[in-house]
């Protein structure tokens, strides 16, 4: 210490109220042990026996160093009670935490309302509240029923609920009770949520909507609390419509995912069941919900008194697809009238949903803009259909001549078998569709005496069709007129039949696929010359239209594949792909 004092490194010393130690503070910038002092300190601390002894020794040491008394290192004495200082610091910290707590959770508390929670406040009051989207009557914004095409039956069913809420007396006079709820079921993209949006716009009653996933949280009890809050708000707005989208998020069967213990999803489902048809009735509240997983919903949710009606919204038919196309085509700048495109596009898109149709129209408009066209025309729609169904064309990934030849014969095999068979429309016979799918594999085996991995997707489709025919549709004499769901590896489900029956089903599926492959092989062998001609034409042009195929293979033996059977006189008639 004497060395530091000698070279004036010590700024001051401090003695606490306990007088048993001394804190040493150095000047900032002083160098001690080769390191520069940058902090305020204290930098050293040492114990002392008594304050008098310390003062005498410090004075003596500085005198020995010939330091004038007025230059002695100053000594400061602290008289603060350290215990009191600690208590005040703790109190200040608690006060700061209390202010933060109030700012986060207490500001929304109404004056005089001190129910529950710490200090009369519930910190989770806002967290457990349901936050539905509420559409009040008269808003006039959004989608109307005229924008929803292709589901007339479903619209009539839904409007019956709306009519009851508007004119309840007409039903009550007859003693009728309106169903409490309706469940919209169907594949993805068929327009379930779109129909609900139209109801929200056109119904003359309040419309509350939430997604099923909005109830699912990691904290226990939050889901059921939100269900209670949602139905409480609905009762206050009655008469009204309550809609839950993707209800399978909370309505999943309790037996299908029960792994023991308590499940938050199960608790939420139980609360939903009670609110829909329990001691607390839902007078004036109509429940709508939608899902594409109807098979996994809990049976208690589907019983009469909760979801009384199940409204199926399937993939659109030919006439429905035409109506959907006309709705979307009206929004585009077309080179020809809407009718010139809608019929043909509907025929080119079997099995497509309403969402797929909307995507096709949008892709056609995007392609026209990319090509700097002024209007959307035939080639834009042809590109859009291929883009949505088959994916984007790969222009940079080139194939070797051998690969191109294999692909050409593979696709020519599909086209040839489909041309020679009568029932190759997706809505008709499964066997012919299986043969058409196997045409590529059969052509490869016949021409190149080997097969490639390119038929993997074809084989998967054939296997799926065969299992559906044997297991689900009851079209096998040995298995009999019974129906079971087809089990998928990614979705383990309960097994409904014995191992013996499962073995029989597998055998019948192999036999059925084998027969389809033999039929396909026979067609390829009988029309080998046409297969070569079609493959070479495809290698030259890369893209073939219906007319190109007809020019190579000749007239279709079973009539024009483009024949329409929906003419007004009931007779079939053939029209070109795009009318002019």
Query: How is the chain split into domains, by residue range?
Result: 7-78, 133-253+265-312, 318-390, 401-488+496-564
Strand duo 285-291 + 181-185: pairing? parallel
**Per-residue pLDDT for 115 more than 60?**
no
| Structure token digits, residue 91 | 């109190």
For residues 122-141, give the mean pLDDT.
74
Q: Are 531 and 413 in contact (CB under 8 A)?
A: yes
Alpha helices, DSSP H, located in 260-395:
264-277, 299-302, 318-329, 339-348, 354-370, 378-390
Instruction: Please tell me the predicted confidence (pLDDT) of residue 492.
Output: 56
The CATH number of domain 401-488+496-564, selected from 3.40.640.10, 1.20.58.760, 3.40.50.11890, 3.40.50.620 = 1.20.58.760
pLDDT per residue as tens digits for the range 11-28: 888 888 777 788 888 887
Q: Are 42 and 26 in contact (CB under 8 A)?
A: no
Query: With pLDDT > 70 as the criterion, what percentage of the chain qualifies?
Result: 82
Which pLDDT band holds residue 325 (cuts at 50, 70, 90)? very high
pLDDT per residue as tens digits for the range 386-430: 888 767 766 666 677 888 888 888 888 888 888 888 765 433 457
Lowest mean pLDDT among 101-110, 297-306, 523-532: 101-110
**Per-residue pLDDT for 508 more than 90?**
yes
For residues 210-239, give the mean pLDDT.
85
Instruction: Please tell me the predicted confidence (pLDDT) of residue 281.
Output: 62
Instruction: Please tell me the predicted confidence (pLDDT) of residue 16.
Output: 81
What topology does CATH give the domain 7-78?
name from scop (3.40.1690)
- CATH class of the structural domain 133-253+265-312: alpha beta
pTM for this one? 0.63
Edge-to-edge strand ranges of the sheet holding 181-185: 133-135, 207-211, 240-245, 285-291, 181-185, 309-312
pLDDT per residue as tens digits for the range 61-70: 888 887 887 7
Answer whether CATH 3.40.50.410 is correct for domain 318-390: no
Determine the length of the chain: 580
| Structure token digits, residue 276 | 């829909």
Any idea which residues carry the catalytic annotation? 411
**Per-residue pLDDT for 208 more than 80?**
yes
């Amino acid at each position: 210490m004497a060395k530091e004092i000698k070279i004036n490194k010590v700024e001051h010393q401090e003695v606490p109220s306990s007088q048993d130690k001394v804190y040493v503070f150095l000047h900032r910038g002083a160098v001690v042990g080769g390191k520069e002092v940058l902090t305020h300190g204290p930098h050293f601390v040492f114990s002392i026996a008594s304050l008098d002894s310390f003062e005498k020794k410090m004075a003596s040491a500085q005198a020995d160093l010939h330091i004038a008394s007025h230059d002695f290192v100053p000594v400061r004495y602290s008289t603060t009670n350290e215990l009191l200082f600690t208590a005040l610091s703790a109190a200040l910290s608690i006060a700061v935490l209390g202010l933060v707590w109030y700012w986060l959770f207490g500001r929304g508390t109404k004056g005089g309302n001190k129910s529950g929670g710490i200090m009369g406040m519930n910190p989770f009051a806002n967290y457990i509240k349901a936050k539905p989207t509420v559409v009040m009557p008269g808003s006039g914004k959004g989608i109307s029923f005229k924008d929803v095409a292709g589901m007339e039956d479903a619209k009539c069913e839904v409007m019956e609920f709306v009519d009851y809420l508007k004119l309840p007396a007409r039903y009550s006079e007859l003693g009728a009770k309106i169903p409490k709820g309706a469940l919209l079921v169907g594949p993805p993209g068929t327009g379930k949520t779109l129909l609900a949006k139209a109801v929200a716009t056109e119904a003359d009653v309040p419309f509350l909507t939430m997604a099923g996933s909005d109830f699912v949280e990691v904290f226990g009890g939050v889901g059921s609390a939100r269900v209670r809050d949602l139905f409480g708000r609905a009762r206050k707005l009655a008469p009204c419509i309550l809609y839950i989208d993707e209800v399978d998020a909370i309505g999943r069967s309790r037996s299908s995912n029960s792994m023991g213990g308590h499940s938050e999803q199960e608790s939420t489902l139980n609360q939903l069941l009670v609110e829909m048809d329990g001691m607390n009735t839902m007078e004036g509240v109509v429940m709508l919900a939608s899902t594409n997983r109807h098979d996994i919903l809990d049976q208690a949710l589907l019983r009469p008194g909760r979801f009384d009606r199940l409204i199926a919204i399937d993939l659109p038919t030919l006439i429905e697809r035409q109506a959907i196309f006309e709705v979307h085509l009206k929004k585009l700048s077309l080179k020809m009238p809407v009718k010139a495109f809608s019929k043909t596009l509907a025929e080119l898109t079997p099995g497509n949903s309403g969402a797929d149709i909307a995507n096709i129209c949008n892709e056609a408009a995007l392609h026209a803009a990319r090509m700097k066209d002024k209007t959307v025309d035939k080639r834009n729609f042809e590109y859009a259909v291929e883009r949505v169904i088959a994916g984007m064309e790969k222009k940079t990934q080139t194939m070797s001549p051998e690969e191109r030849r294999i692909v050409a014969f593979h696709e020519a095999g599909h086209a040839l078998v489909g041309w020679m068979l009568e029932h190759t429309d997706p809505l008709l016979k499964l066997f012919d569709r299986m043969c058409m799918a196997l045409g590529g594999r059969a052509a490869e085996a016949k021409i190149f005496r080997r097969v490639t991995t390119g038929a993997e997707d074809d084989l998967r489709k054939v296997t799926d069709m065969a299992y559906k025919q044997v297991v689900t549709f009851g079209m096998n004499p040995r298995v009999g007129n019974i129906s079971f769901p087809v089990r998928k590896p990614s979705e383990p489900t309960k097994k409904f039949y014995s191992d013996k029956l499962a073995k029989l089903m597998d055998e019948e599926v192999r036999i059925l696929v084998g027969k389809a492959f033999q039929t396909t092989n026979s067609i390829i062998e009988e029309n080998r010359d046409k297969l070569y001609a079609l493959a070479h034409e495809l290698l030259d042009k890369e893209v073939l239209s219906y007319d190109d195929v007809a020019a190579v293979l000749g007239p279709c033996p079973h009539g024009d594949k483009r024949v329409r059977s929906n003419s007004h006189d009931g007779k079939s008639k053939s029209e070109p792909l795009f009318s002019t």
